[in-house]
Amino acid sequence: MVTTTAENEVLTSTSAVTGLPQKRYYRQRAHSNPIADHCFDYPARPEDVDWRSLYPSIRADQEVSFADIGCGYGGFLVTLGELFPEKISIGMEIRVKVSDYVLDRITALRQKSSGTGAYQNIACLRTNAMKYLPNYFRKGQLEKMFFLYPDPHFKRAKHKWRIINQALLSEYAYVLRKGGLVYTMTDVEDLHNWIVTHMDEHPLYERLDEEEANTDPITPKLYQSSEEGAKVVRNKGDHFLAIFRRL
Amino acid sequence: MATIFFAEPELVIGHGRKVLFLNPGDLQIFKEIELPPDLTTCGLKTVEPVPAPGHPASSSKQQPAALKEATGSVKVEVSIQNVTYSPDRQLLALTTAGQKAVLLYKSRPENAQLLSIRPLARASSALRFCSDGSSVLVTDKTGDCYQYDCVEVDASPRLLLGHLSIVYDVLWSEDQQYIITCDRDDKIRVTNYPATFDIHSYCLGHKEFVSGLAMLTEQHIISASGDKTLRVWNYTCGKELLLHELPAPAVRMLVRQLEPEKTYEVAVLFYDYVDAIGVYRLEQTTTESWSITSTQLVRAEAGTWNICNFALTDDRIYVTGAENERLTLRVYDSRNGERASGLPEGWLKMVLDNLDVAAFMPEDLSVWFKKRFDNVSEYLERKKRRIEEQKQQKCG
């Protein structure tokens, strides 16, 4: 794989030890107003997306099937790419610096694995998933969606910024195929209850029972592989898991 | 807001607390509706809307309108936002801002009879009856779409669906299988009805807010947008069939079916343009093939006054707006765009005198456009500089 000048520039700001970008250069505040106008380039429709610019080796018959909504610093996204080498996964992140970190991280990983061609199946988009999912994905395209440690937006006035709400569940159901799965994880019990209530009441979702949820091979990865998840484990917090099937 | 539309044979104008129904030819007032300054006097209560199954009420508090029993408290103006007839003209619905409510009237016989008055959570942005008049949809500036039953006229509204930004227009399909909504995020969404949690399709392609929708055939709609285009779609599959460039962003659109079947008159109000209104002739040549066959621009003295709305009859365009903060109405001939002649002396003055004469400021539409600002370039610049410094340190 030929590295471009841009990739070389990135690599000089990486740690000499790991060869990966250092998070301290990419710190950004956790909260963002998803309803405000941000500066995004977004496609008018899925047909207009140049997927090759995100996945240089993507084949014509391949398309994105897993989406990590609010992928943060990309820990889980990387794990997803390793667990499912044949699937194309995407991370969506609204914050400028954080999405840039993930892009740099993926570039560095690809470079390091240029012999095996690994990590060609993950990419990060800086976008507002609450508004633009139908712009990127056609009806029923996605097989799995992940909402891991979403911003709880504690104040009641900010509840409408929560990534799971009734109106948005219909939009997520549109891009998810029948039988597709939604994975939610949080350490905030109030938010977990909010999510479960809304999804239980939405006619297009049914919750997986505990046995089904625990036998999914992805489930153990949800706890540790995202940066937020690891932080919760370090601080001995609680994990609240809910997995739903799109009917 | 100054609502105006033509529902043959009446020209309907709603402003302030009044709705006037006029004969556009001799300008007699058929009838009028006047709302009291305080809607609680006709029975407005403030109640939380009942959510539809599958849609729990949003947890954001819906503050009741500023109504207090005692006098001497906050006085909120009542002003009419949207007015619409049911397709068979039996019913009239209107929404108010200030004290927010949905009012339903029986419009025949002579004097409109108030059937019900129900609270609204937020000021409405669009209003539309379904084909048999059994219910009316109200959309608001946060993108929520509520259904108000018109058979059970006192039934609480049901929240059917929500967008993430203001919904500018709403349509029902004739068979009531679909609800079509358009918003500020460039989207046209086709939702199933009554299973409104199930989105059927999107019509994607616009690059700016979509300000108007109209039904053309059972499968086709036309949309107008701030991206300076008119587009015709087969909405059942979300396919764009025609893109017509406009000279300026479109903020309102009216469509009339014309005599030869499959021809339509499409009129568009422009934003900030030398000509106020564009009138286009649209023809359907084959099932999926549409084209614009003629264009007429109507200057309507744009620039000398602040135009906000218009209505079309067979031969005239009635335009409302503000001049010196006063509600003004001007009439133009739709064939040549000239000021219309043949209107009785003093008619306009009479009509305007009949409406509220408080200072009138049309909405500033510049906020409809997305603010595009760049918060990425600066970050990337700083990053580049940081990397260069590190490089120099390594080499130096």
Q: How far is B370 from chain A (nearest CA, A)?
A: 6
Q: In the β-sheet with B124-129, what is the strand arrangement from edge to edge?
A: B124-129, B135-140, B144-149, B158-162
**Residue B226 touches chain A, beta carbons under 8 Å:** no
At residue B360, the pLDDT reads 79
Average pLDDT of chain A is 86
Residues from chain B contacting residue A155 (CB–CB below 8 Å): none
Whether residue B161 has pLDDT greater than 70: yes
**Strand-pair category, A176-186 with A142-148:** parallel
pLDDT of residue A228: 77
pLDDT at A47: 92
Measured CA to CA, the distance from residue B387 to residue B385 in angstroms comes to: 5
What pLDDT does B53 receive?
A: 46
Q: How many Å is the maximal CA-CA distance in chain A?
A: 52
Residue A227, annotated ligand binder? Answer: yes
Q: Which residues on chain B are in Cβ contact (under 8 Å) with A135? A: 204
Measured in degrees and rounded to the nearest 5, phi and psi for residue B149 equal: -70, 135
Residue A12 has pLDDT above 60, yes or no: no
Q: Report percent pLDDT > 70 for chain B.
A: 90
Six-digit token pair at B268? 């568009």
User: Does B52 map to a domain?
Assistant: no
Q: What is the DSSP letter of A57?
A: T
What was the pLDDT predicted at B138?
96
Token pair belonging to B133: 């008049």
Range with the poorest average pLDDT among A120-129, A215-224, B160-169 = A215-224
Decide: B266 and B280 in contact? Cβ < 8 Å: yes
Residues of A with active-site annotation: 151
Instruction: Find the residue in B nearest to A246 (Cα).
Output: B198
More confidently predicted of A122 and B51: A122
Give the tokens for residue B13: 């104008």
**Residue B259 belongs to a domain:** yes
Task: Flag the least confident range among A43-57, A108-122, B50-64, B231-245.
Answer: B50-64
The number of residues in chain B equals 396
DSSP letter for B277, please: E
Crossing angle, helix A96-112 and helix B377-395, to 10 degrees?
50
Annotated binding residue at A93? Answer: yes
Quickly count: other Cβ atoms within 10 Å of residue A28's Cβ. 15
pLDDT at A136: 96
Structural domain contains residue B133:
yes
Instruction: Judge whether residue A236 has pLDDT over 80.
Output: no
Is A9 touching B (CB cutoff 8 A)?
yes
Q: Do residue A39 and residue B373 have CB atoms under 8 angstroms apart?
A: yes
What's the gap in Å between the CA of A230 and the closest CA on chain B?
28
**Residue B104 pLDDT > 90:** yes
- Parallel/antiparallel/unpaired status of strands B263-270 and B144-149: unpaired
Residue numbers of the domain that contains B150: 2-47+76-395
Note the helical H segments in A20-114: 75-83, 96-112
Residues of chain A with pLDDT > 90, as a percent, come to 57
Q: Give the C-alpha separation, B220 to B223, whole Å.
A: 10
Q: What is the pLDDT of residue B116?
A: 93
B67 inside domain: no
Residue, of B39 and B71, whose pLDDT is higher: B39
Q: Tell whether the model's pLDDT for residue B47 goes beyond 70.
A: no
- Cβ-defined contact of B195 to A203 (cutoff 8 Å): yes
pLDDT of residue B23: 87
DSSP label at residue B336? T
pLDDT tens figures, B312-321: 988 889 998 8
Sign of CA pseudo-dihedral A32, A35, A37, A42:
positive
What number is the average pLDDT over the span B310-336? 87
Coil/strand/helix, residue B192: strand
Mean pLDDT, residues B233-243: 96
Residue A89 has pLDDT above 50, yes or no: yes
CA B3 to CA A231: how far, in whole Å? 56
CB proximity B75 to A under 8 Å: no
- Whether the per-residue pLDDT at B64 is higher than 70: the answer is no
Residue B89 domain-assigned (yes or no) = yes
How many CB atoms are located within 10 Å of the residue B127 CB? 21
Give the list of residues 6+ apart from residue B99 with CB closer than 8 angstroms, or none: B38, B39, B40, B44, B65, B66, B67, B76, B77, B78
Tell me how crowded residue B54 is: count the other CB atoms within 10 A of its CB.
18
pLDDT confidence of B214, banded at 50, 70, 90? very high
What does the radius of gyration of chain B's CA atoms come to, in whole angstroms?
23
Count: domains in chain B:
1
pLDDT of residue A76 exceeding 90, the answer is yes
- Taking only residues 11 to 70 of chain B, the set having a beta carbon closer than 8 angstroms to any beta carbon of chain A reads 53-56, 58-61
Domains of chain A: 64-246 (3.40.50.150)
Q: Using CB atoms within 10 A of its CB, is residue B166 exposed (0-12), middle (13-18) or buried (19+)? A: buried
Dihedral (C-alpha) B375, B381, B383, B385: value to the nearest 10 degrees?
Answer: -160
Q: Could you write out the DSSP letters of every residue in B204-268?
A: ---SS-EEEEEE-SSSEEEEEETTSEEEEEETTTTEEEEEEE-SS-EEEEEEEE-SSTTEEEEEE
Provide the CATH number for the domain around residue B329.
2.130.10.10
Spatial strand order in the sheet of B101-106: B78-85, B91-98, B101-106, B113-119
Higher pLDDT: B54 or A208? It is: A208
Q: B143 with B183: CB under 8 angstroms? A: yes
- pLDDT tens for A14-33 read 666 677 787 777 777 766 66
In the three-class reduction of DSSP (H, G, I as helix; E, B as strand; rest coil), residue A84 is classed as coil
Question: Residues A181-208: pLDDT tens digits?
Answer: 999 999 999 999 999 999 999 999 999 9
Instruction: Please give, rounded to a whole number of angstroms, the shortest distance from the CA of A228 to a CA of chain B.
Output: 24
Which of B139, B373, B387, B394 has the highest number of chain A CBs within 10 A, making it the mutation to test binding with A?
B387
Q: Is residue B59 in some structural domain? A: no
Residues in chain B closer than 8 A to A160 (CB atoms) = 58, 60, 142
Answer yes or no: do A9 and B384 touch at CB < 8 A: yes
d(CA B135, CA B147) in angstroms, rounded, equals 7
A148 annotated as belonging to a binding site for a ligand: yes
Q: Tokens 């608001």 sit at which residue? A: B140
pTM more than 0.80: yes
| DSSP for B310-329, written as a single string | EEE-SSEEEEEEEETTEEEE
Model pLDDT, residue A13? 55
Strand B18-22, strand B10-15: pairing: antiparallel
Residue B232 pLDDT: 97
Q: Look at the alpha carbons of B113, B115, B120, B124 in this order and tell me if their dihedral is positive or negative.
A: negative
CB contact under 8 A, A134 and B202: yes
CA atoms of B382 and A54, how far apart (whole Å): 23
Rounded CA-CA distance B231/B77 in Å is 38
Cα–Cα distance between B64 and B57 in angstroms, integer?
A: 15
Mutate to test the interface with A, among B164, B373, B380 (most CBs of A within 10 A): B164
Confidence band (pLDDT; 50, 70, 90) for A35?
A: low
Residues of A in contact with B208 (CB under 8 A): none
Rounded to the nearest integer, the mean pLDDT of chain B is 86
pLDDT of amino acid A163: 85
Q: What is chain A's percent helix, strand, coil content, to nearest 5? A: 40, 20, 40
pLDDT tens per residue across span A106-137: 999 999 988 888 999 999 999 988 889 999 99
A177 vs B: CB within 8 A: no
Q: Which residues contact A35 (CB under 8 A, 6 or more apart)?
A: A130, A160, A161, B164, B165
How many CB pairs lie under 8 A apart between chains A and B?
106
